Amino acid sequence: MSDKDFLQEAIHIVDQAEEFGVTIRILGALAIRMQTPHKIDLHRTLDRLGEGKMSFTDIDLIGPKAQRRKIENFFEKKLGFVVDRYALLAAKDRYIYHHPEKPYYVDVFLDCLDFSHKIEFAHKKDFHRLSLDKPTITLADLVLEKTQIHDINEKDIKDLITLFAGHEVGTTDKDPKTINEAYIAEVLCNDWGFWYDATANLKKALDFCKKYCEEGLVEKSESDAVVAKIEELLKTIDEHPKTKNWEKRAKKGTSKQWWKDVEESDRGADQHTIKRNSWF
């Protein structure tokens, strides 16, 4: 399947789910590709998510835990996918689906992403962050998704750079094309470990963006704009009041492990491992 086919397939699943009464949103690099179609030249230049090659092997989604049964019925009865029963034993709020006629698998999370650090989407009984954008999760949640990775690699950094190149930074979720820095700061102010890795990863993105500029891969004007946005986000995170939980954990610093260990995905045709560290 081409990247274009993957994009169309993922959007089709989201649309069909909505008709079925299910809220599903797209995650990861596929979501970033959808959110930054105007940055395809940057994708190509950075050799990340460009056209002319297959960038994706699966479709990663998230839905509300409250719709668990409807999500199961949607994928298994409506679309004809088969759930990986072995995977369910390892992660109760995560489904891996295969289809007898499709060359990819679907990874469905419920309510949260829990890898190096945890990202919650169901904040209140009557409010779910999946309602804020479609067909992907919000830009702010995409930033959190990428920066939660403890051992971040270069492709994830390229995703961050592309996301910041394609969108402005603001303080609201009302504009789906703006990265809500206020929300990101709010999430990180209560979790020192997440804050530590997220800010470190944002600083790595700064360094790589400058490096790519020196190498001629990113135009100076675009590099300057990305750097300014990330620096603004870091300033907002730094100035946001921290909770007592954050301050208590900060005292221990790096003397105690601050992230959860997550092994790299190693999923072959005859394997059932669903562990993953880096994001797509």
Work out the pLDDT band at 247, boundaries 50, 70, 90: very high
Q: Which domain holds residue 42?
A: 3-255
Residue 182 confidence (pLDDT) above 70: yes
Note whether residue 195 is domain-resident: yes
Note whether residue 269 is domain-resident: no
Task: Report the DSSP pairing between strands 105-110 and 58-63.
Answer: parallel
- Percent of all residues in the chain with a pLDDT value above 90, rounded to a whole number: 78
Residue 10 confidence (pLDDT) above 80: yes
Return the closest-CA partner of residue 27 out of 142, 177, 191, 192. Answer: 142
As for how many domains the chain has, the answer is: 1
| Whether the Cβ atoms of residue 63 and residue 73 lie closer than 8 Å to each other | no
Residue 263 confidence (pLDDT) above 70: no
Note whether residue 168 is domain-resident: yes
Note whether residue 100 is domain-resident: yes
Note whether residue 272 is domain-resident: no
Note whether residue 270 is domain-resident: no
Note whether residue 9 is domain-resident: yes
Residue 102 phi, psi (nearest 5)? -120, 140
Burial 20-49 (b: 16+ CB within 10 A, else e): bebbbbbbbbbbbbebbeebeebbebbebb
Is 0.75 surpassed by the pTM of this model? yes
Note whether residue 262 is domain-resident: no
Distance from C-alpha of 149 to C-alpha of 262, rounded to nearest angstrom: 9
